[in-house]
Chains A and B, each alone.
Chain A
């Protein structure tokens, strides 16, 4: 806590940074699966070192959009760029963390985390050195030789985050990263992710269902509408990091986002029923 208070007392660093460059640009980006249009029109600019959260009704295409940015899925309309270049395939400049962790069960924690550098052709010693840094920062110290099957959900998600960060991506893409965690664990991992973001200066794009998660962590919350979806609101959370969950101003933002989201969920349920 003292660390948090310390940083809260000196929020100077934030204000002197010049306006960052655009990192991800989407202009009318859409994804269609056969006759199903998952995302209709996704238009936004995400700047370097921004923490942006995507929230929206279930099935509105949040994951689809995230996977398109990761390069796993192709957009079927519009333009989607990273660093001004159209996205054609996945790459180590975009790290991914899934709700289901997707660890490699045959590799120890350390080996899971070193796989990225190993694939990049780094010698083992160097790969391990890189991994150690993130193992320390994600609080995985002492678990290096454990196999994923022996870890708790929170630990698994830390491994997934450390594994993504060890590839040293510019952008971290998170798909409901706390969805599989219990509340206590979630709060810990969430806090760690905030600290990591401050320490690592990455661009983070996080899909979530939780208004509380989104408002606590993100600079901006993009609210997607019911399918076929587009961004219905772009709410800037104008509070310094790290944030205190008890901050009353945060409560106001939560209400604002919840109001817009509820309207969209209502609309999506009506569409579902009328079918």
Chain B
């Protein structure tokens, strides 16, 4: 019985996979195609809406050795990714710890819950002026913005993961003679992992958007946000669109590629549902 149910989705996959690829290619191709024609024929302003091929060409140049500075776009990408990684990494560690404290201890709930409730409604970007005064135009400013943006979803989901665990789960561990540390290691940590990954996925999404915006505010520090901001000064429309395109592609790669791979190794492999 289990063999049959396991084989059914596998058989469907060869047809499902190309369709999943074909659909976005068709719809995006249509959009960019029309844009290209409209810009080339002068139906829309080629200055405000440069044709996509021209955007790609300009991106190709600015990312290469003839860019100004050479490999400038690559440097922007590297810096943005570095800030994202550092901020999200920090959020992952601290967010998980705070989430565990709230979910498992009375003092954690008493200390962190009110603070989080107070901070949560504030848009992350509202912190940028303060951070700029504290850190100056520095990677620490943008990393902190990423950290704040990513933290809440991680904390929230870790707490939810703990709340979803039934007392019977703990009882099973206890009847095996598990100590508190062993319960944490063998039951709580793996049990909240699917929730942590869901939190990470959402958190990274927020963080990526907040980072780009913060890079535009905390200018002259490179990064993709700065690239767009800087191009606006020179009315370099192609670079603006190039930046936006890069942000979209990278955001998609991080969410689908990195976090998606984590989901495959855990949530999908275990066949668990994450309820929120």
A-side residues, CB < 8 A to B, are: 67, 70-72, 89-92, 94-96, 98, 100, 102, 104-107, 115-116, 118-120, 146-152, 155, 163-164, 167, 169
Min distance, Cβ A91 to any Cβ of chain B, angstroms: 6
Contact with A along B172-200 (1 / 0, CB 8 A): 11111110001000110011010000000
Q: Is there an interface contact between A149 and B272, defined as CB atoms closer than 8 Å?
A: yes
Question: Is B166 in contact with chain A by the CB < 8 A criterion?
Answer: yes
- Chain A contacts of B105 at CB under 8 A? none
Question: Is B20 in contact with chain A by the CB < 8 A criterion?
Answer: no
Could you list 20 further interchain pairs (A-B, Cβ under 8 angstroms) beyond the known A71-B175, A147-B271, A148-B271? A72-B167, A89-B174, A90-B174, A90-B177, A92-B175, A94-B175, A95-B175, A104-B191, A105-B272, A106-B190, A106-B191, A106-B193, A107-B190, A120-B176, A149-B270, A149-B272, A152-B2, A155-B2, A167-B175, A167-B177
A91 contact from B5, B168, B172, B177, Cβ within 8 A = B177
- Chain A contacts of B186 at CB under 8 A? 104, 115, 118-119
B-side residues, CB < 8 A to A, are: 1-2, 5-6, 166-169, 171-178, 182, 186-187, 190-191, 193, 266, 269-272
Q: Is there an interface contact between B172 and A102, defined as CB atoms closer than 8 Å?
A: yes
Q: Is there an interface contact between B1 and A149, defined as CB atoms closer than 8 Å?
A: no
A102 contact from B1, B168, B182, B266, Cβ within 8 A = B168
- The secondary-structure label for the interface of chain B is helix
Closest to A112 in B: B172
- Chain B contacts of A92 at CB under 8 A? 175-177
Q: Is there an interface contact between B169 and A102, defined as CB atoms closer than 8 Å?
A: yes
Q: When A147-B271, A150-B2, A152-B2 are in contact, do A119 and B182 touch as well, CB less than 8 Å? A: yes
Min distance, Cβ A166 to any Cβ of chain B, angstroms: 9
